[in-house]
């Protein structure tokens, strides 16, 4: 009953903006015969990387691991005694591994009413460590600026090395992967400010400390990181700082306002990776209710709102996303806005693929996701060459 109630509450929150849905919105148009959709589809490659059944089977392995992790975290969080908390967090996974149905039920109950601290701690699968690389004698004139995802609240550069290391090997370009302060302790604009400062430091110091003379730069980011690299580009344009030669947003979180209705958000009601309560928790953590900020009006919070004056000065955009991702509708909207403003844009839409696929190419995971990682590398190479 708790799970059903949480879904009904989410539907009630979506309803006010859904009933006044703009009839001129791209998503209100007939996708088959509408000229606007025809123009958008010209820029998008719809790609089937495996059969629907193959993706479904391999995705189940990822979901099972995530649900067990969530169930273990939730069980431990229930314990008041520190010893019992540690015991359950370390050993209850064995039981949930044997009885996966119980893990699924426990995880769904947890996300019906998630505890913010526990939910975030479970997303932080790895800890960041500061490392100072040796100064290289090889000269580079292309660099990649990477910003990781995690709903603005979790994860770090190390937890995303499952794919960023593959990019480094595939491309042989230096990748500067930026960690930033997370919500809820550090809500907007703290994370974006960190990335802005890091980028300016790189521009001013990379030649001195890394022997790199960057002639071409690309920004790449997934999910919340996709949001942040687009916002970073907007800041570069606003303040006259060197803009990148191209950006590669991957399943980006373009809209942080529930008042701007996105139909595909309804997929989150049954999504195992981006459940609706976690999605709302991330947004509410990033944009505090008492901050006076309006995510439905601010382009630096919701880049889907980027104005024409800014978009006309955008670099190349190479976008990719999955069609089973609750965030996918905003990607179509963004592609249309870029087309309307004369931006060089291309996109890949992966049939049957969920949110977060870059991280799924792991042993025992979704081997087909390796294609998505390689496609992103191809996009970056196209921009940097």
User: Is residue 231 within 8 Å of 336, Cβ to Cβ?
Assistant: no
**Arithmetic mean of pLDDT, 41-63:** 95
Q: Which SS3 state, helix, strand or coil, does residue 250 take?
A: strand
Domains of the chain by start residue, with CATH? 140-384 (3.40.50.1820)
Strand segments, DSSP code E, in the chain are: 44-47, 140-147, 175-178, 212-222, 246-250, 316-322, 345-350
pTM of the complete model: 0.86
Confidence bin at 259 (pLDDT 50/70/90)? confident
Q: What is the dihedral of CA 291, 295, 297, 298, to 10 degrees?
A: 80
Instruction: Please give the pLDDT value at position 383.
Output: 98
Half-sphere exposure of 318 (CA within 13 A, CB side): 19
Confidence bin at 129 (pLDDT 50/70/90)? very low
Rounded to the nearest integer, the mean pLDDT of the chain is: 87
Instruction: Please give the pLDDT value at position 86.
Output: 54
């Amino acid at each position: 009953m708790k799970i059903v109630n949480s879904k009904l509450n989410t539907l009630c929150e979506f309803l006010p903006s859904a009933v006044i849905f703009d009839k001129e919105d791209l998503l209100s148009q007939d996708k088959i015969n509408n000229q606007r959709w025809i123009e958008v589809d010209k820029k998008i490659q719809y790609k089937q990387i495996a059969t629907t059944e193959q993706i479904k089977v391999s995705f189940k392995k990822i979901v099972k691991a995530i649900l067990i992790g969530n169930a273990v975290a939730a069980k431990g969080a229930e314990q008041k005694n520190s010893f019992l908390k540690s015991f359950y967090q370390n050993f209850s996974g064995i039981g949930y591994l044997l009885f996966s149905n119980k893990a699924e039920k426990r995880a769904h109950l947890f996300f019906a009413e998630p505890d913010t601290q526990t939910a975030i701690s479970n997303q932080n699968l790895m800890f960041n460590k500061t490392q100072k690389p040796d100064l290289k004698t090889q000269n580079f004139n292309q660099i990649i600026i990477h910003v990781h995802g995690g709903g603005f609240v979790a994860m770090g550069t190390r937890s995303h090395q499952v794919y960023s290391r593959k990019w480094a090997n595939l491309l042989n370009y230096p990748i500067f992967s930026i960690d930033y302060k997370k919500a809820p302790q550090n809500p907007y604009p703290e994370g974006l400010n960190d990335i802005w400062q890091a980028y300016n430091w790189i521009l001013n110091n990379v030649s001195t400390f890394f022997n790199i003379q960057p002639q071409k730069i690309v920004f790449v980011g997934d999910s919340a990181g996709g949001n942040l690299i687009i916002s970073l580009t907007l800041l570069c344009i606003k303040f006259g700082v060197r803009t990148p030669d191209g950006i590669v947003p991957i399943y980006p979180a373009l809209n942080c306002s529930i008042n701007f209705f996105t139909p595909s958000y309804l997929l989150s009601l049954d999504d195992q990776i981006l459940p609706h309560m976690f999605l709302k928790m991330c947004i509410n953590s990033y944009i505090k209710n008492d901050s006076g900020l309006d995510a439905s009006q601010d382009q630096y919070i919701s880049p889907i709102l980027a104005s024409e004056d800014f978009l006309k000065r955008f670099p190349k955009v190479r976008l990719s996303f999955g069609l089973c991702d609750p965030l996918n509708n905003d990607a179509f909207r963004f592609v249309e806005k870029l087309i309307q403003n004369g931006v060089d844009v291309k996109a890949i839409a992966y049939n049957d693929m969920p949110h977060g696929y870059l991280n799924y190419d792991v042993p025992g995971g979704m081997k087909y996701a390796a294609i998505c990682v390689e496609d992103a590398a191809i996009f970056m190479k196209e921009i940097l060459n």
